[in-house]
Structure 1
Amino acid sequence: MNNTTPPGHPASQEAAARLGDTVQEVYARGIADQRDRLLASTPVILALFDGTGGRLLLHTPGRPPVQAPPVPDSYRLLKDLAHAPVAAFRLAASPGLSTPETRPRLTGTLIRASAGLVSAGIGPEEARAGRALLNLCLRLLAEPDGGPHAQQERTARFARACAPLLLHLVEKAAAVQVGHWAWVLDDWQERLGGSFDGVYAAANTLYVTRTKNVLFTVLAQYLGEEVIGERLFLFETPEFTTTPDRMLDLLTRIVADREIGRAFFGHGRVMDVELMGDATRTALREEMARRGRKAVLPTKAPYDSHQWPWATDPTNGTGPSTLTAVRADH
């Protein structure tokens, strides 16, 4: 008598679901244990985007986490000034966005900001650039909309006029932000001494800020290019902001998965990527060939590449670049 349940049968589906749930439960417990072990043995720096220049936290074994002092207020003002023409441009370029309340409210905010620059805590050069930028915004908002062609020309002139002022303010804001975090990391590096050489660090980013990411780039100056992808990570998150707990969970998963990679395949970083990736490439080639098409696939970089912030160059790094090669070496 055959007691095998046919595939697709409700009992088979239920058994598979139970197996998956049980495996995930065990895995989650393992991650929690790994997190405790990581924080008990290794310094960890978390760099979180927060809209005001960032937030850095230092976890040191045996001590409560330390949050660094925030970026000076002048950074936020300079950045907000640089953002002002974007808002004005949007309202002028898209009349549908302008309601009886929005344009007067933005105009009033720009006027008050311009008047307050004298005592805002930024240098006279930055204050002049900021006031000039706000005046350009006010003039744009005061002009009648006109027809689509006139509107397009007006907003184009406005953007060109704003660009050098905007870039000047961005440069000043970057100097404040980078100078602050360099000061913080100087202090933490001295405080940690030799243990800084083993620190793990991670910054979070939204898709649009992943390249040239400020916090990640600052961290790279102190940890070194050779640890990118090894102990220094850039986590892409679905929102601009995230929580320290979420960052720690992501970091812990990487560390825990690398233990699994070493045990099963002889190379920890095979678990940094989609494990089915190599098999998927083979399957895609076969599927596309059956359709008379060439598979569109990226080049492969070694697992231990230190490219920033993602690995695509096969000449950067050493060692195997496919799961098959890793298994052959194991």
Structure 2
Amino acid sequence: MPVRIPPVVHIFIPVAVSLGLAALTLWLAVDQRFLGLRLAAAAPNAAPGLSEGIRIDAVIPASPAAERPGIAVAAGIGTLVSLTGAQGETFALSPADLIEEPDALDSYAAMHAFFARQDMIAGMLRAGPVTLEVQLPGGSRSETLLPAPNRPVTSLPFAFWLQIAVGLGGVWIGVWIWALRRAEWATRCLAFSGLGLMVSAFAAAVYSTRELALPGGVFQTLSALNQLGAFVFGMGMIGLFMVYPRPLFAPRWLAVPVVVLGLWFALAQLGAMESPAIGIHLGVILALLAIVTLVALQFHATRGDLRDRAALS
């Protein structure tokens, strides 16, 4: 007689794994050199004549930057225009260095150039003391400081914790429903979409809330994971509405969105697509259109059935 495994066991393992991944995400976010600055990509309130740079919104207390008076006075009024590394190399900074989503760039070449810039900046911060050129309305000044080896957990913004919460919530809801009805394809698809949401949100939590730069390889990997998670979420949601609340297709057809979106993602990562707009965004848009179409078909299929219509809603 087969042993019946209670649903709580099927819930516990995925929950434990997701918490471990959340801890890994937190470790990756804090395992970065830290200046102690809150930076913004644009400087709409800068005084006329200031060079293009990165606006210094605030200086974090008890941080390396807070110990330098020339940086502390720049909070809210100054821009960070360049870094000079321990070897004397100077790197001019641009608002584009704080782009949250590199796949918004026009081409894969631009994405690779962006990752290269990030790698150079992160390398300078890891190499030793750096000199920050800060421009104020009355002129510019240079301050040298040694970045802290780690970023304090308390410096992570609300957006980081929100994305962690979204990722955990998505996968926990999917796993909980799947554990109660494991034999149904609808619950499997829901759990699969929750997995994709978690992967996408966790990856974005690290790079979208960075202080200034991440190592290029780390950033590129996280960006790819974010895109993969979005595609997996699309696969799961398409599959869900293919079979729920009414089975519109036989279960074997659930392989279609997995194969199509999986190949699309693979070709995008290999650079076979013309641009991120086609390789990434068009794929996501088509997945969303498929979901909307399937919801419309389900709405039509459940007409006259109050229970199924309520389930669809």
| TM-score, normalised via structure 1 length | 0.30
| TM-score, normalised via structure 2 length | 0.31
> Which protein is bigger by CA-based radius of gyration?
1
